[in-house]
Amino acid sequence: MLKYLTRPASLSLLLSLLAPVSIPQISQAADVITSPLPASSLESAPTPKTSTPTPTPVLTPTSPSTPALTPSPIPANPSVEQPIRLEISRSKRRVTLYQGDVAVKSYAIAVGKPGWETPLGTWRVRQKLRNPIWIHPFTGEAVKGGDPENPLGRHWIGFWTNGKNWIGFHGTPNPKSVGQAASHGCVRMYNQDVEEIFQKVSLGTPVKVTP
């Protein structure tokens, strides 16, 4: 026979004081939470995944400290840079660099000695070389480029050839020869002067040789 037991009053009172507990419900997708979270958990809550990405606005950068630039008007008749040309005077032993019709600078040179005169005429720059190799015209002996004793120095500007031999501007390890008729047809210059001309001329620059 079953006896009905009466709950003690103290137990009933204890149960009545207990508040119901709400358990968050999680859907099958583990990264989507369907029940509300406490405010303290909002910062760490994962962001729901969506199939459509959120567009990011494109902002135009501005700098309040940098004023806007106004383009300068283009002149109606812009000046055209005049072409460079070189003119050698064998008698004066000078080469003059012209820009258009303006003589920009004149340099001392050595020209070809008797029997090896620098050829008269108008030619064009056909070679530009740094640290050229020199080959002796009679023995075929070669002196490597950059050698302090290389008769061509460190810069070569060739403007004449017969298909075998070349004539051009070059430096020299013997600066005392500059101003003389001392070469085998080439135009010797002080090393710093030929380097300066080397930087100004291009392939095709005219070279005129006068008496």
Q: If we measure between CA atoms, which residue out of 203, 188, 208 comes closest to residue 123? A: 208
The beta strands (E) that lie in 101-186 are given as: 102-108, 111-112, 121-124, 127-130, 134-135, 142-143, 155-161, 166-170, 181-183
Task: Tell me if residue 170 is catalytic.
Answer: yes
- Exactly one of 136, 155, 170, 184 is catalytic; which is it? 170
Task: Tell me if residue 186 is catalytic.
Answer: yes
Residues contacting residue 75 through CB under 8 Å, at least 6 positions apart: none
* Paired tokens of 140: 């075929």
Which residues are known catalytic residues? Answer: 170, 186
